[in-house]
Amino acid sequence: MATIKKIMCAVDLTKASWPAFDRALSIARANKGRLYVLHAVPANKSFSWRATERLQLLPDLRERAEQAGVPIRIVEQHGDPADLIVLHANSRKADLVVLGSNRRRGWQRFKEGSVGERVLRRAAWPLLIVPWDV
């Protein structure tokens, strides 16, 4: 069985990010792995969109990983979230990618789409989608 040493976690500024990060962190800690966190600012938004929230969230994630003894790298990039997740997971040769799910349904899902589904269709690595209410 392959070991899981390189874990990538994509976060946004929704409540789904916290359980996904928690799961990625616990997997990294249990496997003595490295955690790579990606925050993609959607292409249809300015990079400064919700910057204050990002400046609070990302240092909190770094501090939690460091307290757990897990090496972490955080990257922010502007573009389509699904494309960026696939690009970074491939370039990092991720052993596992962890995403949060907002469980969108109906019209909201049709209008906004599902990043998780779009990533899953292109995944060349294991993908774990964590619901926000676990």
Question: Which pLDDT score, from 0 to 100, does residue 68 have?
Answer: 97
Whether 52 is in a domain gets the answer yes
pLDDT digits (tens, 9 = 90+) for 87-131: 999 999 999 999 998 765 554 544 456 888 889 999 999 999 998
Whether 8 is in a domain gets the answer no
Whether 61 is in a domain gets the answer yes
Question: Which pLDDT score, from 0 to 100, does residue 101 have?
Answer: 85
pLDDT digits (tens, 9 = 90+) for 43-99: 999 989 899 999 999 999 999 999 999 999 999 999 999 999 999 999 999 999 999
Give, rounded to a whole angstrom, the gap between the first and last alpha carbons of the chain: 27
Which structural domain, as residue segments, surrounds residue 69?
A: 14-131
Question: How many separate domains does the chain show?
Answer: 1
Whether 23 is in a domain gets the answer yes
Question: Which pLDDT score, from 0 to 100, does residue 82 have?
Answer: 95
Whether 55 is in a domain gets the answer yes
**Range list of β-strands (E), the chain:** 6-11, 34-41, 72-78, 96-101, 127-131
Contact by Cβ (8 Å): 128, 94: no
Whether 5 is in a domain gets the answer no
DSSP lists the bridge partners of residue 34 as 6
Question: Which pLDDT score, from 0 to 100, does residue 108 have?
Answer: 55
Whether 58 is in a domain gets the answer yes
CATH number at residue 26: 3.40.50.620
Whether 7 is in a domain gets the answer no
